[in-house]
Amino acid sequence: MKSLAPIFSAFLLFAIVSCNAQSSKNIKIIDPVAFKNEITATPNAQILDVRTPEEFTVDHLQNAENVNWYSPDFSTNTTKYDTSKPVFIYCRSGKRSHLAAEKLIELGFTSIIEMEGGIINWTTKGLATTAEKKQL
């Protein structure tokens, strides 16, 4: 039995690494400036803000739609989006968007573009949100 332990350990490690690599290969994490540029270059971009409705109301990216990660209906609420087209996703700091991106892969989405650092990083870079437009 002892001789099987290294083989089992190697197999388990391979399985864990394979599963993690499989989902993340369809998730591209990029900085806010590149995120903005990719949105601009994508006709009819699907932009998901996975924060709460309250956070979304305060400010969000232009043309983003709110799909609350904490909602029990998150999966159902994503069915209106095209799984074969890129989905741009962000949250406040990047934690929720990463979890949501992994879930979207499970739901059959083939290309997820996740903004590194969330809307906090976006505003730190001096990029505009709807909050600036409300002030005008």
pLDDT tens digit sequence for 5-61? 555 555 544 544 444 444 468 999 999 999 999 999 999 999 999 999 999 999 999
Residue 126 in any domain: the answer is yes
Half-sphere exposure of 20 (CA within 13 A, CB side): 6
Residue 18 in any domain: the answer is no
Residue 17 in any domain: the answer is no
Residue 52 in any domain: the answer is yes
Q: What whole-number distance in Å separates Cα of residue 113 and Cα of residue 46?
A: 10
Is the CA virtual torsion 126, 31, 58, 40 positive or negative? positive
Q: How many domains does the chain have?
A: 1
Strand partners, 29: 114
Q: What whole-number distance in Å separates Cα of residue 90 and Cα of residue 2?
A: 47
Which CATH number fits the domain that encloses residue 64?
3.40.250.10
DSSP classification of residue 90: E
* pLDDT > 70: percent of the chain: 79
Residue 31 in any domain: the answer is yes
Residue 107 in any domain: the answer is yes
**pLDDT score recorded for residue 131:** 84
* pLDDT > 90: percent of the chain: 77
Residue 6 in any domain: the answer is no
Q: Which residue range(s) make up the domain with 126?
A: 26-135
Q: Model's pTM, two decimal places?
A: 0.80
pLDDT tens digit sequence for 60-99? 999 999 999 999 999 999 999 999 999 999 999 999 999 9
Report yes or no: 99 and 40 within 8 Å, Cβ to Cβ.
no
Residue 1 in any domain: the answer is no
